[in-house]
């Protein structure tokens, strides 16, 4: 875990595991968030699987998330990893739930994109994926590559339809 503090307050944190798994290998990629977030550390570190990025509400809109991601990329380089991997929420699929900090309206075109991706297995164009503001944030900040769709990854996340978009960044670049 890497944390950021302001004064004596934890402003945000990013939690991850170092793993020897290749995120491009969809057959071996964890099928659920529970499996993804509870992976044991393995060596040599090929990937850093990020399972939580949190910023306190009063620090949202600042550069805390960017700084945490930057520090994680540097950590990845230090340990010889190649990939930073994330599971991107996509609340535009059904609109944000009332009890979440995301205030995102449903986007029918985005939903059709995700449904088509799930049905066909064909990765849609980036411009269609980044209609969702959270996925757009990761693309803008990390210049990530969207690897695959994970249906049923977190079924209780109704705003994302249970889906996650798995993305990666080559930290050696």
Count of Cβ atoms closer than 10 Å to residue 1 Cβ: 9
Give the C-alpha distances (Å, rounded to integers) separating 28 from 6, 24, 61, 67, 106.
39, 9, 35, 30, 31
**69-to-54, 122, 127 alpha-carbon distances in Å:** 11, 28, 23
Rounded CA separation 66/20 (Å):
25
- The per-residue pLDDT for 77 is 97
What are the φ/ψ torsions at residue 85 (nearest 5 degrees)? -125, 135
pLDDT > 90: percent of the chain: 93
Domain range for residue 159?
Answer: 2-170
Whole-model pTM: value is: 0.92
Residue of 22, 72, 26, 27 lying closest to 42 (CA atoms)? 22
For residue 84, which of 74, 97, 96 has the smallest C-alpha distance?
74
Q: In this prediction, what percent of the chain has a pLDDT beyond 70?
A: 97
Run of H or E including 52: strand 47-55
Q: Are 51 and 33 in contact (CB under 8 A)?
A: yes
In this prediction, residue 97 carries a pLDDT of 60
Place of tokens 């049905």: 119
Number of structural domains found in the chain: 1
pLDDT number for residue 125: 98
Helix, strand, or coil here: 148?
strand
Structure confidence at residue 103 (pLDDT): 81
Q: Rounded distance, CA 153 to CA 69, Å?
A: 22
Alpha helices in the chain (DSSP H): 33-37, 64-79, 108-120, 126-129, 133-142
pLDDT value of position 99: 65
Nearest CA-CA partner of 65 in 129, 140, 162, 131: 140
Q: CATH number, domain at 59?
A: 3.40.630.30
For residues 8-29, average pLDDT: 96
- Segment among 1-15, 64-78, 96-110, 140-154 with least mean pLDDT: 96-110
Residue 78 pLDDT > 80: yes
- The mean per-residue pLDDT over the stretch 54-59 comes to 93
Average pLDDT over residues 85-111: 88
């Amino acid at each position: 875990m890497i944390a950021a503090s302001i004064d004596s307050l934890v402003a945000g944190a990013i939690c991850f595991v170092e793993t020897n798994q290749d995120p491009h290998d969809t057959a071996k990629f964890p099928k659920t968030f529970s499996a993804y977030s509870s992976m044991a550390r393995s060596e040599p570190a090929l990937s850093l699987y990020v399972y939580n990025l949190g910023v306190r509400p009063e620090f949202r809109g600042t550069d805390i998330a960017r700084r945490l991601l930057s520090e994680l990329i540097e950590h990845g380089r230090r340990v010889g990893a190649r990939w930073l991997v994330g599971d991107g929420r996509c609340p535009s699929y059904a609109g944000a739930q009332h009890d979440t900090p995301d205030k995102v309206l449903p986007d029918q075109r985005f939903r059709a994109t995700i449904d088509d991706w799930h049905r066909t297995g064909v990765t849609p164009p980036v411009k269609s994926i980044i209609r969702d503001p959270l996925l757009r944030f990761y693309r803008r900040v990390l210049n990530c590559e969207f690897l695959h769709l994970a249906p049923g990854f977190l079924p209780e996340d109704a705003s994302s339809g249970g889906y996650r978009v798995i993305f990666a960044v080559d930290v050696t670049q």
